[in-house]
């Protein structure tokens, strides 16, 4: 299990207790070994994929220790223990966490900017095992999950014709079909059993993708027989590529089904459909935008 950022504080300080300068990258790698973080866990990313979880937590542990004056960073990516840090280690603390760091005025000043918000801020930080960045990402994922659920419910409430229009717009936004006008003409015009329409794979129309769209109620499932029927319809057209989209879900047998011929089928369930709609701003709009920034090392680098 990857330790939380507060649990990393004391091991990090102890690791650099020799008073020498250490590269933060090497410290992180060595701490991973010392704390028993497996190679697989070291590769585990934040929900956004922006950085490895262990790297992020170690970086925040360093930041908090630095703000408390226990470590110094003479230059980018380099850390060493401070006199204050050495004094702390001489007292042999059982652990170092947010509550422990409050004894240092530098940390209190960093932690609270408004006196009236101090109690709420401190309590939240003490109780949480997540870094501020992880808390932000967790909140974002909760909002996204709620929005995805609302989108699918809204799609199901509308007509089949609207669903076909939605599928066309989404695929065009994803780079298929050339234009909505061209793609729209093909959707719902096939008339072949098991096929709802076709769309160009690219703007030049070098290949055609056949589409099956099922606006089924959430909770129902698309089974293997439905996919086999779709594959049969593709074979009748001499087609090799298909997309099966549903607002519900697929059974395990359907997901594991692989046609014996060279036909390739992409399955998109309700959850994935909603995620694509969010990613491509279809049926939803941005309400607020928050930018998380970091130091630009290239700007401060000396020739």
Closest to 138 in 3D by CA, of 119, 120, 124, 123: 124
Residue pointed to by tokens 């649990």:
7
pLDDT digits (tens, 9 = 90+) for 185-208: 555 554 445 577 788 877 676 788
Q: Which portions of the chain are predicted below pLDDT 50?
A: 114-119, 121, 190-192, 303
pLDDT, residue 115, reads 42
Are residues 266 and 167 part of one domain?
yes
Are residues 101 and 183 part of one domain?
no
pLDDT, residue 7, reads 95
First to last CA, the chain: 41
pLDDT digits (tens, 9 = 90+) for 239-268: 888 999 999 999 999 999 988 778 899 999
Are residues 71 and 178 part of one domain?
no
pLDDT, residue 21, reads 95
pLDDT, residue 60, reads 92
C-alpha 206/C-alpha 226 separation (Å) is 27
Residue pointed to by tokens 């360093």:
62
pLDDT, residue 182, reads 63
Are residues 113 and 63 part of one domain?
yes
- Count how many residues are written for the chain: 303
**pTM of the complete model:** 0.67
Are residues 55 and 164 part of one domain?
no
pLDDT, residue 198, reads 80
CATH number of the domain that residue 208 is part of: 3.40.1350.10
> Domain containing 244: what range?
151-279
Are residues 87 and 10 part of one domain?
yes
Are residues 208 and 126 part of one domain?
no
pLDDT, residue 184, reads 53
Q: Give the chain's domain count.
A: 2
pLDDT, residue 235, reads 86
C-alpha 61/C-alpha 278 separation (Å) is 33
Q: List C-alpha distances in Å: 257 to 196, 224, 242.
A: 21, 7, 14
Q: Are 144 and 48 in contact (CB under 8 A)?
A: no
Task: Classify residue 217: in a domain, yes or no.
Answer: yes
C-alpha 265/C-alpha 260 separation (Å) is 12
Are residues 273 and 168 part of one domain?
yes
Are residues 157 and 121 part of one domain?
no
Are residues 118 and 164 part of one domain?
no
CATH number of the domain that residue 68 is part of: 1.10.10
């Amino acid at each position: 299990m990857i330790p939380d950022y507060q649990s990393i504080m004391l091991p990090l300080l102890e690791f650099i207790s020799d008073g020498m300068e250490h590269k933060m990258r090497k410290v992180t790698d060595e701490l991973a070994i010392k704390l028993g973080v497996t190679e697989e866990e070291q590769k585990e990313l934040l929900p956004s994929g922006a950085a490895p979880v262990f790297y992020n937590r170690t970086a925040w542990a360093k930041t908090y220790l630095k703000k408390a004056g226990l470590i110094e960073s003479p230059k980018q990516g380099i850390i060493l223990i401070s006199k204050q840090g050495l004094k702390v280690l001489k007292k042999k603390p059982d652990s170092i966490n947010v509550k422990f760091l409050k004894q240092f005025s530098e940390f209190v000043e960093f932690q609270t900017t408004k006196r009236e918000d101090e109690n709420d801020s401190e309590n939240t930080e003490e109780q949480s095992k997540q870094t501020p960045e992880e808390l932000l990402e967790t909140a974002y994922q909760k909002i996204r999950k709620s929005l995805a659920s609302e989108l699918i419910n809204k799609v199901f409430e509308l007509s089949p014709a609207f669903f076909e229009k939605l599928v066309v717009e989404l695929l065009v936004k994803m780079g298929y079909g050339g234009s909505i006008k061209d793609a729209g003409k093909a959707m719902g015009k096939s008339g072949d059993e098991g096929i709802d329409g076709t769309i160009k794979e690219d703007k030049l129309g070098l290949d055609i993708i056949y589409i099956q769209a099922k606006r089924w109620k959430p909770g129902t499932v698309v089974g293997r027989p439905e996919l086999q029927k779709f594959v049969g319809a593709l074979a009748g057209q001499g087609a090799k590529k298909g997309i099966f989209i549903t607002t519900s879900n697929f059974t395990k047998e359907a997901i594991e089904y692989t046609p014996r011929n060279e036909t390739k089928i992409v399955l998109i369930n309700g959850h994935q459909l909603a995620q694509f709609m969010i990613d491509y701003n279809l049926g939803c709009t941005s309400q607020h935008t928050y930018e998380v920034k970091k130091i630009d090392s290239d700007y401060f680098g000396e020739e």
